[in-house]
């Protein structure tokens, strides 16, 4: 290594700079004036979250065409930027806050979460090290522990916040790879090693694509993600899992991890975690539970055993407060049993990040890929405080009740049928009038979906089950009331009546 250059009398490599003067940020008066205006705007928006169509009436390129192609050479007033945001951007957005948002799984923006984000953006700390943001680091540990208690999880979990469950699952599977130090993946990698078998990851055929993406990213490979068949309720079958694991072992492959899902994306099915855990234990495989959507239901005491039963045997668990826990994007909690294994997978402390507190304080940069870390805990903590444990449970319970009521309407209506057991706050269904072939049902479902979504009043999405097109109505936004679900049902029936052959 070359020793550092001695005295810097040596001329710097860069060209001479022109004299410059301090400019700083915009005047505080601008912030105050436009900040108050924006609070008023957001207040009106929250008061009437249905005032924009839930799906915007734009085609690809429409928004971009309204924006200048180059940055302005000189500063423009803050008020103009905000006015353009209201004029051009907001009407070009899908309205995730709309009470008729029933697609995918809902996100919720809330008063507490939004103000938490405002304060976090102003403080703008980087919680990479305890020293660089002590209160943000400690609040993160507190907030995820509050959430642990609220979901009825036992002790002995170490939690931290990632942006999304995709990142959390990637961290969990990376840790799984380090759980057996003999693999020496951190140091030696996996390529070019004759000593290493193929590493296998198992999940239900209905597991989220983030499992595949994590396996691809980690170099495990898409072909090494084993999709295990499901039962009639679309839950992973532990017997098929055990068989797949045994077959792989017989072929010299290494079962690394199993991902059980508590609330699949397609149908909200909950895998039988306790039975899956037994297979993992026998195989020495890491058990990760993806409860990114469903975990919130554990806030409801009477749903807890259903959704998170068996999770006490898991090695890691991911739950997204930004999905069904009323916290703005992004906020995903990963709990692990053995934080030392996660640190073994990710901790790197270069000289410039060494601090005196290293031994006694948690440095959250050691638990994942990102070094820079926003103060995400603030919004979560504010939501938990202002809703309270009971307030969270009541809202989640209400959403489940709405989905169940909707399913009842579907099941009772001629020509309509549920396509999977209703689970948590999700109903999967189809319009399948007698006398039509399955392919015609599928085409009709696509047209019904397109028609109701064009109304601007609701947004539903779809999935496929056994190759068949299925409609999904997922309740989860804090602003959704019974009347919005009823309106969705009315629009669906109207569309079916208008579109069915012979109508």
Near a second copy in 326-345, by CB under 8 A:
326, 328-330, 332, 345
Count Cα atoms within 13 angstroms, Cβ side, for 336. Answer: 24
Instruction: From 203, 398, 205, 166, select the one nearest 292 (Cα to Cα).
Output: 166
Nearer residue to a second copy within complex by CB, 277 or 393: 393
Q: Is residue 124 within the footprint of a second copy (CB under 8 A)?
A: yes
Q: Kindly state the smallest distance separating residue 277's Cβ from a second copy, in Å.
A: 19
Q: Kindly state the smallest distance separating residue 458's Cβ from a second copy, in Å.
A: 15
Q: Is residue 494 within the footprint of a second copy (CB under 8 A)?
A: no
Identify residues 243-272 at the interface with a second copy (CB under 8 A).
Answer: 253-254, 265-267, 270
Residue 254: which residues within 8 A CB-CB, separation 6 or more? Answer: 183, 197, 198, 199, 200, 248
Taking contact as CB under 8 A, which single stretch among the options 276-284, 335-343, 466-474, 494-502 is the one that binds a second copy? 466-474
* C-beta atoms surrounding 344 within 10 Å: 17
Q: Kindly state the smallest distance separating residue 247's Cβ from a second copy, in Å.
A: 15
Taking contact as CB under 8 A, which single stretch among the options 153-161, 167-175, 273-281, 308-316 is the one that binds a second copy? 167-175
Contacts with a second copy: how many residues (CB under 8 A)? 235
Taking contact as CB under 8 A, which single stretch among the options 279-287, 311-319, 475-483, 488-496 is the one that binds a second copy? 475-483
**DSSP at 87:** I
Sign of CA dihedral 185, 190, 196, 198: positive
Do 458 and 100 contact (CB within 8 A), yes or no? yes
Give the ranges where 352-376 is alpha helix by DSSP (H). Answer: none
Identify residues 30-89 at the interface with a second copy (CB under 8 A).
Answer: 30-32, 34-36, 38-40, 42-43, 45-47, 55-56, 58, 60-64, 67, 69-78, 80-82, 85, 88-89
**DSSP at 299:** G
Identify residues 372-391 at the interface with a second copy (CB under 8 A).
Answer: 372-375, 378-379, 381-382, 384-391
Q: Is residue 186 within the footprint of a second copy (CB under 8 A)?
A: yes
Q: Is residue 182 within the footprint of a second copy (CB under 8 A)?
A: no
Give the residue, chosen from 83, 247, 348, 454, that forms a contact with a second copy under the rule CB under 8 A. 348
Nearer residue to a second copy within complex by CB, 112 or 242: 112
* Helix/strand/coil for 203: strand
Nearer residue to a second copy within complex by CB, 192 or 502: 192
Nearer residue to a second copy within complex by CB, 207 or 258: 207
**DSSP at 223:** G
Instruction: From 497, 388, 475, 467, select the one nearest 98 (Cα to Cα).
Output: 475
Taking contact as CB under 8 A, which single stretch among the options 146-154, 310-318, 333-341, 491-499 is the one that binds a second copy? 146-154
Q: Kindly state the smallest distance separating residue 231's Cβ from a second copy, in Å.
A: 6
Nearer residue to a second copy within complex by CB, 18 or 503: 18
Separation in Å, CA 217 to CA 10, 165, 214, 247, 305: 45, 14, 5, 25, 33
Q: Kindly state the smallest distance separating residue 208's Cβ from a second copy, in Å.
A: 8
* Helix/strand/coil for 473: strand
Q: Kindly state the smallest distance separating residue 359's Cβ from a second copy, in Å.
A: 10
Nearer residue to a second copy within complex by CB, 36 or 281: 36
- Tokens describing residue 333: 């909690």
Give the residue, chosen from 144, 172, 203, 234, that forms a contact with a second copy under the rule CB under 8 A. 234
Residue count (the chain): 503
Q: Kindly state the smallest distance separating residue 61's Cβ from a second copy, in Å.
A: 7
Query: DSSP of 279-296, one letter per residue?
Result: HHHHHT-EEEEE-TTGGG
Separation in Å, CA 374 to CA 122, 132, 161, 393, 455: 11, 11, 10, 27, 38
Nearer residue to a second copy within complex by CB, 359 or 502: 359
Give the residue, chosen from 280, 314, 420, 471, that forms a contact with a second copy under the rule CB under 8 A. 420
Q: Is residue 131 within the footprint of a second copy (CB under 8 A)?
A: yes
Do 176 and 186 contact (CB within 8 A), yes or no? no
Identify residues 286-305 at the interface with a second copy (CB under 8 A).
Answer: 300, 302-303
Identify residues 188-217 at the interface with a second copy (CB under 8 A).
Answer: 188-194, 196-199, 205, 208-210, 212-217
At which residue do the structure tokens 């239901």 appear? 297
Distance CA 116, CA 311 (A): 30
Distance CA 362, CA 197 (A): 34
Q: Is residue 6 within the footprint of a second copy (CB under 8 A)?
A: yes
Do 140 and 125 contact (CB within 8 A), yes or no? no
- Tokens describing residue 459: 């947004």
Do 380 and 115 contact (CB within 8 A), yes or no? no
Residue 388: which residues within 8 A CB-CB, separation 6 or more? Answer: none
Taking contact as CB under 8 A, which single stretch among the options 163-171, 280-288, 334-342, 492-500 is the one that binds a second copy? 163-171
Give the residue, chosen from 204, 273, 316, 463, that forms a contact with a second copy under the rule CB under 8 A. 463
Q: Is residue 434 within the footprint of a second copy (CB under 8 A)?
A: no
Query: DSSP of 58-75, one letter per residue?
Result: --TTHHHHTS-SS--SS-
Q: Is residue 155 within the footprint of a second copy (CB under 8 A)?
A: no
Nearer residue to a second copy within complex by CB, 126 or 494: 126
Residue 99: which residues within 8 A CB-CB, separation 6 or more? Answer: 49, 50, 477, 479, 480, 481, 484
Nearer residue to a second copy within complex by CB, 20 or 250: 20
């Amino acid at each position: 290594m070359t020793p550092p250059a001695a005295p810097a009398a040596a001329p710097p490599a860069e060209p001479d700079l022109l004299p410059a003067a301090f400019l700083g940020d915009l005047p505080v008066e601008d912030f105050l004036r436009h900040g108050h205006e924006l609070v008023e705007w957001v207040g009106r928006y929250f008061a009437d979250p249905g005032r924009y169509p839930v799906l915007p009436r734009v085609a690809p390129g429409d928004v971009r065409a309204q924006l200048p192609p180059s940055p302005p050479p000189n500063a423009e007033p803050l008020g103009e930027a905000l006015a353009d945001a209201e004029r051009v951007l907001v009407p070009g957005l899908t309205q995730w806050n709309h009470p008729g948002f029933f697609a995918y799984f809902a996100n919720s923006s809330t008063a507490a979460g939004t103000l938490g984000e405002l304060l976090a953006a102003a403080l703008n700390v980087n919680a990479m090290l305890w020293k660089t943001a002590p209160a943000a680091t400690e609040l993160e540990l507190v907030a995820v522990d509050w959430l642990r208690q609220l979901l009825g999880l036992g002790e002995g979990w170490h939690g931290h916040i990632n942006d999304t469950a995709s990142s959390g699952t990637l961290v969990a599977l990376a840790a799984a790879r380090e759980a057996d130090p003999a693999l020496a993946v951190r140091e030696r990698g996996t390529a070019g090693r004759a000593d290493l078998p193929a590493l296998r990851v198992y999940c239900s055929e209905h597991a989220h694509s983030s499992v595949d993406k994590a396996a691809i990213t980690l170099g495990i490979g898409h072909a090494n993600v084993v999709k295990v068949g499901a039962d009639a309720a679309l839950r992973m079958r532990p017997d098929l899992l055990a068989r797949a694991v045994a077959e792989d072992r017989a072929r010299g492959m290494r079962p690394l991890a199993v991902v059980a899902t508590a609330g699949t994306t397609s149908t909200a099915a909950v895998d039988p975690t306790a039975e899956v855990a037994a297979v993992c234990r026998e195989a020495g495989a890491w058990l990760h539970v993806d409860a990114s959507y469903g975990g919130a239901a554990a806030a409801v005491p009477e749903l807890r055993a259903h959704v998170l039963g068996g999770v006490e045997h898991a090695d890691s668990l991911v739950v997204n407060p930004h999905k069904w826990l009323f916290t703005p994007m992004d906020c995903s909690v990963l709990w692990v049993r053995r934080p030392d294994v996660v640190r073994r997978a990710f901790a790197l402390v270069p000289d410039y990040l060494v601090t005196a507190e290293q031994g006694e304080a948690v440095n959250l940069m050691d638990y994942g890929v990102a070094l820079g870390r926003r103060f995400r805990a603030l919004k979560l903590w504010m939501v938990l405080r202002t809703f309270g444990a009971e307030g969270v449970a009541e809202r989640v319970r209400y959403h489940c009740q709405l989905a169940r009521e909707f399913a009842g309407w579907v099941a009772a209506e001629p020509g309509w049928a549920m396509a999977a057991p209703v689970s948590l706050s999700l109903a999967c269904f189809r319009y399948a009038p007698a006398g039509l072939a399955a392919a015609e049902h599928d085409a009709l479902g696509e047209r019904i979906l397109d028609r109701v979504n064009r109304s601007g009043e609701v947004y539903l999405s779809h999935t496929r089950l056994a190759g068949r097109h299925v409609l999904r109505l997922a309740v989860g936004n804090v602003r959704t009331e019974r009347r919005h679900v009823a309106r969705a049902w009315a629009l669906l029936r109207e569309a079916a009546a208008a579109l069915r052959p012979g109508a």
